Structure 1
Amino acid sequence: MISKAIDWNDEWRNMMEKCAGSVVPASAQHWETAESARRYLHDYGRESAGQVDRVNATLEALPLAPDSRVLEIGAGPGVLTVPIASKVAHVTAVEPSEGMMTVLQEHMNEKAVENIRCVQKCWEEVADEDLEPPYDLVLASFSLGMPEIKAAIEKMIALSSGQVCILWYAGKPQIETLYRLVWPHLHETDYSPGPKADVLFNLLYSMEIYPDVKHFDFEQVHVFESYDQMAEYFQCEHHIPFDTGNPGIRAYLETYIEEMDDWFVHSEQWPCMMFQWEA
Structure 2
Amino acid sequence: MRSNAIDWNAIWKEQYDENLHCRDNGGCASIWESREKALDFLNQSREHPERILSIIDSLPVEAGSRVLDIGAGPGTLAVPLAGVAAHVTAVEPAAGMTEVMAEYAKEEGVSNLSVVRKRWEDLDPAVDLDGRFDVVVASYSLGMPEIRAAIEAMCEASSRWVYLFWFAGTTTWEQGLIDLWPALHGTEYHRGPKADVLFNVLYSMGICPNVETSQMEHTRRFPDLDAAVAEFREQYRVETPEQEKVLRNYLAGTLTENGGDLLLSGTTTRVKFWWEVNEWR
Among 145, 149, 152, the residue aligned to 2:150: 152
| Count of paired positions | 271
- SS of 2:23's equivalent? coil
CA distance in 1, matches of 2:190, 2:56: 32
Q: CA deviation at 1:32?
A: 0.7
**How high is the TM-score relative to the length of structure 2?**
0.90
Name the CA shift for 1:209/1:36 in 2 (closer, same or farther; >3 Å).
same
The aligned counterpart of 1:8 is 8
Q: CA deviation at 1:57?
A: 1.7
- SS of 1:166's equivalent? strand
Query: What is the one-letter code of the residue matched to 1:254?
Result: G
CA distance in 2, matches of 1:221, 1:25: 24
Name the CA shift for 1:187/1:145 in 2 (closer, same or farther; >3 Å).
same
The aligned counterpart of 1:199 is 197
Listed as ranges, the gaps of 5+ residues in structure 1 are none
Among 52, 56, 72, the residue aligned to 1:75: 72
Match status 1:231 vs 2:229: yes
Query: What is the one-letter code of the residue matched to 2:134?
Result: D
Superposition pairs of residues 37-48 of structure 1, within 5 angstroms: 37-43=38-44, 45-46=45-46, 48=47
Encode CA deviations 1:11-57: one digit per residue, 9 max, x unaligned: 101111111110043886442111110111111x22x13xx232122
Q: CA deviation at 1:146?
A: 1.3
Q: CA deviation at 1:208?
A: 1.0
CA distance in 2, matches of 1:113, 1:93: 13
The alignment's C-alpha RMSD in Å is 2.1
CA distance in 2, matches of 1:34, 1:84: 22
Superposition pairs of residues 93-172 of structure 1, within 5 angstroms: 93-127=90-124, 128-172=126-170
Match status 1:254 vs 2:235: no
CA distance in 2, matches of 1:172, 1:139: 23
Q: CA deviation at 1:175?
A: 1.1
Encode CA deviations 1:61-94: one digit per residue, 9 max, x unaligned: 1111111100111000011111111110011100
Query: What is the one-letter code of the residue matched to 1:21?
Result: H
CA distance in 1, matches of 2:30, 2:72: 18
Q: CA deviation at 1:148?
A: 0.8
Q: CA deviation at 1:3?
A: 9.0
Moved more, 220-229 or 99-108: 220-229
Q: CA deviation at 1:227?
A: 2.2
- SS of 2:245's equivalent? coil
Among 184, 187, 203, the residue aligned to 1:186: 184
Match status 1:31 vs 2:32: yes
Listed as ranges, the gaps of 5+ residues in structure 2 are none
CA distance in 2, matches of 1:204, 1:125: 21
CA distance in 1, matches of 2:127, 2:26: 33
Among 258, 261, 264, the residue aligned to 1:263: 261
- SS of 2:227's equivalent? helix
Name the CA shift for 1:116/1:94 in 2 (closer, same or farther; >3 Å).
same
- SS of 2:216's equivalent? strand
Query: What is the one-letter code of the residue matched to 2:59?
Result: L
Name the CA shift for 1:169/1:137 in 2 (closer, same or farther; >3 Å).
same
Q: CA deviation at 1:252?
A: 5.3
Name the CA shift for 1:73/1:183 in 2 (closer, same or farther; >3 Å).
same
Identity %: 39
CA distance in 1, matches of 2:259, 2:92: 41
Name the CA shift for 1:134/1:3 in 2 (closer, same or farther; >3 Å).
closer
Q: CA deviation at 1:273?
A: 0.5
Tell me if the contact between 1:165 and 1:276 (Cα under 8 Å) persists in the aligned partners.
yes
Q: CA deviation at 1:233?
A: 2.4
